[in-house]
Structure 1
């Protein structure tokens, strides 16, 4: 499907939207990932088979969107996600957040849901969720050299197995991440949540997902572990689990 553009605070955000019925699904990608990855494409294909709407997009500085990646923060990407949902998504929506996208999804329900039947977010599907990754998963392990780079240059770079270019982490990302933490208190989503986590994930320990699960206050939260699953969760068997969970959430929302 063709890419559409949405201007959000001066950044042209690239969006792919499939028309269909409700609940609409919204893909929220991870740090430096894009909307054309395996999981996002397979979710969109599945939505097409089910006749459901699906919205994918790239954050600023990612994929086919404009903007400088180094200007990105959780607050900025959250604002872009909310603007895309407002402009394109078929509501109510089920947010599918992968890695950092799960953090964005949790912040979205904090901003949008109040516990009313009319709440726009009807469910969350969180894959290898990495909420608060800046403060929980990165800051405690920064080297002296990385801390010095943050202080003196405003960023540091580190190699990544997911592409040829290094990951860039900015001082602004860490500072803004502290302001967007969600794992400090019990979390009210006012909607069902399904978490899928690989126990062989080298980037997000399964204990992080378990802690998130324990903070969720709703009774209809579910967590499933993939014994040999990595951070990508993109193998055929992983995709099968993801779309099965998506279908269960869609059925649950439809029954409300």
Structure 2
């Protein structure tokens, strides 16, 4: 008999099996942990990240311990999902996220978006509001809304501009991976169709932003700009003075869990 069979807690926290659904011809990988308590958690990862990262797993284990549901996916071209990463766009990854949400999410949900996933979360909130299904709350970790237009395009070198024009993409070294980041013309052009920092963003729910002040990928000033575009919602911004872009240290994970727990208590307590 395995050790897990003798340890109900270990079994409870075991990694969920991967499931797949088809979204416009792409095989999208999903891990869904059902739960009896609301709200559930929906994890939206960053650019070139996957659902087995430290923060995603920490939230899934918290859900397992507390009886909440936890839903994760890999966008096409990411992690265990099929599809070509270089064919990915914000519109495509948003559509996949919404398809997974509609297929698996039950009851009220907190959207948790990391880096580019913050952009996806904000766009999801906009689309869900059109359906009368606002999220219960949103947690944004080092959010990068409009990063293609606000952070990438203004800093393009002449060589990168030429690569975009002639090759359809350019490469940039990554401090997190031996493989370079690839930014395609398709991604940048589609990004302009999904901009959220062009006016007031109405999510219809509380928003809590966690941002490292030592973040070199998404400067903390970008989070300050985002707050200015959320004047209608109840917004909390927590700046981590020594935090980097990942915010994956033990103390950062503890902050993330405490933030989610605080929102759960607030949502669950009648006003």
Q: Normalising to structure 1: TM-score of the pair?
A: 0.97
- Aligned position for 1:248: 262
Q: Deviations over 1:176-228 (max 9, x none)?
A: 00010000101111000000000000000100001101211235210000000
Q: Deviations over 1:74-103 (max 9, x none)?
A: 000000000000111222110000000000
Asked if residue 147 in structure 1 is aligned to residue 161 in structure 2, the reply is yes
Kindly state the Cα deviation for residue 48 of structure 1 after the two structures are TM-superposed.
1.1
Tell me if the contact between 2:168 and 2:185 (Cα under 8 Å) persists in the aligned partners.
yes
Q: State how far apart, in whole Å, the 2-side matches of 1:165 and 1:234 are.
A: 21
- Structure 2: gaps of 5 or more residues: 1-15
Partner SS for 2:136: strand
Structure with greater Cα Rg = 2
Tell me if the contact between 2:204 and 2:233 (Cα under 8 Å) persists in the aligned partners.
no
- Aligned position for 1:233: 247
The number of aligned residues is: 254
- Return the match for 1:161 from 175, 183, 194: 175
Q: State how far apart, in whole Å, the 1-side matches of 2:267 and 2:133 are.
A: 12
Q: State how far apart, in whole Å, the 2-side matches of 1:86 and 1:252 are.
A: 25
Q: State how far apart, in whole Å, the 1-side matches of 2:213 and 2:231 are.
A: 23
Partner SS for 2:254: helix
Q: State how far apart, in whole Å, the 2-side matches of 1:255 and 1:86 are.
A: 26
Tell me if the contact between 1:158 and 1:167 (Cα under 8 Å) persists in the aligned partners.
yes
Asked if residue 212 in structure 1 is aligned to residue 226 in structure 2, the reply is yes
Asked if residue 5 in structure 1 is aligned to residue 20 in structure 2, the reply is yes
Runs (4+) off by over 2 Å: none
Tell me if the contact between 1:22 and 1:91 (Cα under 8 Å) persists in the aligned partners.
yes
- Structure 1: gaps of 5 or more residues: none
Kindly state the Cα deviation for residue 255 of structure 1 after the two structures are TM-superposed.
2.5
Tell me if the contact between 2:172 and 2:182 (Cα under 8 Å) persists in the aligned partners.
yes
Partner SS for 2:127: helix
Tell me if the contact between 2:119 and 2:144 (Cα under 8 Å) persists in the aligned partners.
yes
Q: Normalising to structure 2: TM-score of the pair?
A: 0.92
- Aligned position for 2:209: 195
- Aligned position for 2:237: 223
- Return the match for 2:81 from 65, 68, 76: 65
- Return the match for 2:118 from 55, 79, 102: 102
> Root-mean-square deviation (CA), in Å?
1.2
Q: State how far apart, in whole Å, the 2-side matches of 1:252 and 1:210 are.
A: 24
Partner SS for 1:113: helix
